[in-house]
Chain A
Amino acid sequence: MTLHDTIQADALSVFCNSDDFAESIVYYRRNGRSRKIKAVVIRESLGVMPEDGDVVYPLFEVHVANSDTDGIASDELDLGGDQLEFPTRVGQPKMRRSILKLLNHDEGMLVLECR
């Protein structure tokens, strides 16, 4: 097994293990297709609506495996319309959030920003 394979396998089996930090969320592609994936969701940091300053909105950092089955493949991601569905707060109803930024990525993981 190469280092590349190890990184990809660890992303799924270690980091995105729902027995530890990850949770099951739904990835909706702009074209309408969807699938369940595993992700680590860092919830509710705050952004400020540009030009107005007095309206804040929640930001979410979502870590997923770079995978077209259990995560999101970096070459399939469309920052113009793809969405993730997860609870705003743990225990609250799930809602869809647009994926607006790809903060970082490598062979193993993607770090996404949702609003």
Chain B
Amino acid sequence: MPVAVVETIAGIIEDRLEAMIGDATYTTDISEVRRPTRFASFTPIHNQIVLVQAATERVPILDRPGNPPAIAYRQPFAIHCHIIQSERDTDSIDTLLNAFHADVVKAICSPASTWHNMGGNAIDSEFGTVNYVQADGGVDGVQIPLLVTYRVSEDDPTELRN
């Protein structure tokens, strides 16, 4: 069954993040990568990554004529990096957050020369402004927005039109 192009892109991002698990070249020892269900029933744990999809935006300037026309979308993904630091740990939380951020960017930007096209499924990708999550919800962390622009047929979001 054909898969929506945006779902293929989400799977590629998830795969790149999951490749961090057990990889000693990264400073952060990633525990797991999650894509939440509607009712997020998993528990937050230390060094967890949660990949969330936000509302899709249209990018009319990148549309292409045709029958059917090719329609461009920009899909924001939020990569939540959770840190639940022990009360007995003396490391600076900012040090952990900076390392986590750097590791995730390196993982997403692999392979270096073609990371932005997400396996040929996207026109371009870029990172947005990073938000630092305060521990008022009990979890510290950094949220890394990743904006992926792709193009599909107007009448079939499973048909890639790059």
Contacts and interface: CB of A to CB of B under 8 A. Distances in A.
| Range, interface on chain B | 20 to 34
Given A50-B133, A52-B54, A55-B52, A81 B86 contact: yes
A98 B78 CA distance: 22
| Range, interface on chain A | 20 to 34
A30 B84 CA distance: 11
Contacts of A81: 45-46, 84, 86
Interface in A9-59: 30, 47, 49-52, 55-58
Consensus secondary structure, chain B interface: loop
B43 A49 contact: no
Contact of A97 (B38, B43, B85, B87): B43
B143 A51 contact: yes
B133 A98 contact: no
A113 B137 CA distance: 10
A91 to B, nearest CB: 15
Interface of B: 36, 38-41, 43-46, 50, 52, 54, 78, 80, 84-89, 131, 133, 137-139, 143
